Structure 1
């Protein structure tokens, strides 16, 4: 027994593993070996008799309580990883083995602790290294896949698949790991990747797979791969996607081709030249031949002629100094100059370019573009001459000519005729608006005409009234078109003073109306004689029947009826002859014709049949009623004179819509809704030459004293003033038909006209 005990202590003391014997209850250290002293950092005599708590052996006392509890339950604790403290305070990772055994007749703990601190540090470093490797693999821009060979290279199973691989192959890691290469990417045989993996797995030599094309039903693109084998036998593929690069190269190649094509087809010359005395060309596009007559090969390196000598002799110094000044400022240059072509023609060119400087700041080349502007210069000269002619016409015209801004009517320029007619000086006009100097009779006139310019693009022959400096109102026939001066929208207005013409026109209308009244008076004189004879007869009958009250009453009634009929005719004649100012208002053309029917019957006479076919709906137009009556009367008198032996005279009205095609068949008629008035007779008719002059002033085919030749001229003028048009169809022996189109009046049209 003693020998066994001695053997135990020999093994205990000589054991290289730190060991200690402690009491179970309070952890008093009974014995320790040298290895334990080294582990704890305490001398043997400093340990014996003290408790493990006294020497603060346990870093975590909760670990000690856990070990004690497990020892009480199982009698032994194996390979428990704990932290034990060295005397210098350093903590050591240890694997603890504790067993309860009899010592000096009492149960004690025999504990052994193996210091694994170095192993822990190695494991941690290995873990850190693995984490760094995994992070590097996961975050690298290249795709990384790890495979395990199946059988004799029948296929390769995916073990790992990083984020870059997910991005390149448009698939998630979960969809790939666990599958084989040919399952996940069936196009790998055709691309050569499968064969490369087989070779590397067999010979262990890493292999680069140059750029190749991969394609399957899901993805396609250009790849480059490097495959190698790990010591574990696993295979690694590191690959990158070259699709964008190759497409960029293809696109760049296409861009270069397009650029070459573009440069070759430019209507000018792209160049690179040296800023020397001769401006030696280093490179020049094929456009040089069309521009100068010299081929690229003749200009590059001054083979046949230098660019300096192509430039017109008189312009060389100016061009050199202009470009040199721009280069000093490191600025772009733009120079216009002349060149002499190979066939000795003079051309104007616009040269735009800049200097190319080295990193040290030295000028290396001039690069730019020279463009033929000969036609442009010719047009500029023609434009200058046109502007001069316009300025002369502008100033020489006696009419009211002005240029004003579209927005507010501010004067930009006026001619002398405008100033003379208005009475203002140039200083009183310039810098002001037309509303400020109160030139318009009504401010609303300008607003209306500006709207018309915006809507229709121009105003033509609009009658307006301008107020002179002295306050007099002048009637002006005003036309205007929009023009752009710089960045401002303006109006070029041209007005002709028609005040005197308007007076003469009014007098002409009055004269012609009086002529028509005279002709009417002569026509209805016979009717009045009949009315007077009837009155005289009834008076004689009344005298004979003095004793018969009933007969007298009846005869007096007949006299009254004749008087009423005669009075009605006189009223219509007075109404027609009355002088009234023209005022366009909404008027029903049918009503005008009906009211004139009683007057037209005696005018036409008993030999002419009068027929009216008026539209069922009101034929509202915007016109002057008295002027419309004059139109009807003039056309009626004209028809009567064309049928001396009698005939048929017809007046009809209807609503019509004139489309673009039909409008093109009439002068100054646009598409829209109209009231059509047809006035026809079956009289003598007219030949083509007469028809072509029928509306001319003072033109007549009647004998002297039978007409002034103004009747149809007045009709034409009134119709045009009402916004309509009139035409005549006639043939000799087949009568005549006047067709008049008058715009339909709609609610608001009158107000718009007056604004």
Structure 2
């Protein structure tokens, strides 16, 4: 109801006919609500019992109506005071008061005046009520900003009041619906007319139905009268019931003539009556509209071809009441079809005898004619496609070309011969070659006329020839060595891509002498294989200098020259010059020769040192035997000591020869690596980019080492440069030192150096990391992951060789995308000698246990070693390669048996710290042991320190592992 009320706009005079208070409220409350929201002054003229109810609902904001805040927006008046004077209903008083309220509303800035009248119908004479309502309608037409809702209670109001309300109000609200009153009168009726005698029930029942029916009838009548399409309706006996002017124009009969005739006889000739009867019978049986073509007999005696659509309207028993139909005059179409048929006949003989396909197409793109050649070429019958769009035969990719040429023809142009693919009955496509021209009749273009032939074989031959040329050209261009074709005067006539890339001068190659563009000379080269081939007609070969502009030598080339001869006469027509750049090969050959020479010298020196060592060993040991048999202080005793000292100097000389045999001269000295790093710090900072945080973390009380200082600095520089290159977007680079002890046992990644004390130098970065595949080749000579001209592949290989030469070791620990740590192990050197392992008695402890341990490490080798060691000592191991799988097991019922979590610190899915926190949230009593191969500075970013008791550094021994596991398990929880 509310949505319907919103459609009412001033001036609107509406009457609500209701039977219950609920009906009254459902209309009056929304009516007031809409007015308040639109800033309309709302005047409620109500009986004494209605006013308190409305006020109570408005004060509670019921139904979304909020109490008005603007003064004068909502006022209440009693019906007795507003509508009656001296006990009598006074229409004049009402109208006068409404005009005053309207003026007041306008002065106070309200948009309109909205009034609700609760009509005391039983106290109002019905004739005066009708006079009041009609007068109010006229008054409201002058008051453009006022609207009224009059409410009449059907139960207590006299029938005359209800009837007069229906007659007098333009808008009625009845049974929850708003009606625009079709029966509303504009003037007071005369007494005794028909509507005076009809009751209110009649008007209410027929109000909406009559309104709709009349509006529908008026609409349909208007449509049919103005339609250009002929329409008629008739009875089953053939009499004409209705028709429109277009039907009269078609038949030639006027209205009176058609009413007196039957459409089954007057308008239908005998030859079409049987057709009509068949379709009428079919219509009666199926009750479905029928569509067919026939001829209608006109008044002037002519027949007009028509297209007829016939419908049936039946009664309740399904019997036809009448038929109606719509007619299309198809005279023009018939004439066009006949003209096309005659045109086709004229060309039929030509079409049937021509060897090429001859066709015609209408302006609509339909195939009008095809000659028998079409069947021979495509396999289709002509009847399969005549009358159908010619585009149906064309390959989808060629439709655009076909359409464009068709449009050219229709525009009067004659397009050049074109080729498109045509579909055959076998499903394959042939290539048709077509010539098209406009089809002209009576001076107008009516379509396209054309001739086509099968050009598939010709096109295939042409394509094969082009493909062969393209194939040879591709081969010629794809050969990675340079190829030039010269004429007998040594002019370059053709080159491939490689030779053009080799000689990037600022001048084209073709059309110039080869020695000008290739060697920058003004006359042929003295040793020129191409010149020799031109003279002898035989192939020639030379290794020549590669030169650039100005004759500058830039490298070396292999140059082959082959004669190019005419295949028929055998006459030399030119030279094929084949050039291969061997600059890099020559450089590698030179390096190889130098390397072989140095290797030979090294082997020779090593061989001499080896023989000298044998001799010195014999001299030294025998001298000691003699010295031990003599008394100290004797002359011979001192002489033998001099022999021993001289032998030691010979041994020192031998060691120098051995050093040389490793291709690197060394000068070992005792070094404090912390001091070396301090001396190098400024230089190292210059090697590192500004977006990298660089720091050196030396360990206190570091042990000295004995090695060549230059070699140590070289190792440090190489590792720092590599770390810098691994962090193109910035990061952290840390150098750390510490004393360590290498103890061989069941170690993971054991250090391949003798057991003992070492000084460890670690270079760590947070860069791109190293994949497992790259790690396998990390220390191989000439292996590099850097781009072209950015790395030699010798840096890490040199570091590896230096450490091997100094009895040390270098190890890499990294994961792809997670940074890298390179550890350098150098033998500790104190008091003039290397420190040997401390021979301390092994501490007795129990390595065995029965606890269940959850193990997580993404490296299979680590998991296998830990599982083997701990399983052999009685532990139950649950091994997992990922944190997610370990977390899933911890959630299972079996997870309650876990006593210890051993986890790697850095893993792909989550860190060991994160995993431990999640596992502890599930199993609070679990203890944790972290393991890692990274330095403390790296793992500290993951919330772990290698100084904690719950951490084990890789590599570790089996004893170290079992001892640490037992230590963590036995530690009492805080």
Taking structure 1 as the reference length, what is the TM-score of the superposition?
0.32
Larger Rg: 1
Taking structure 2 as the reference length, what is the TM-score of the superposition?
0.26
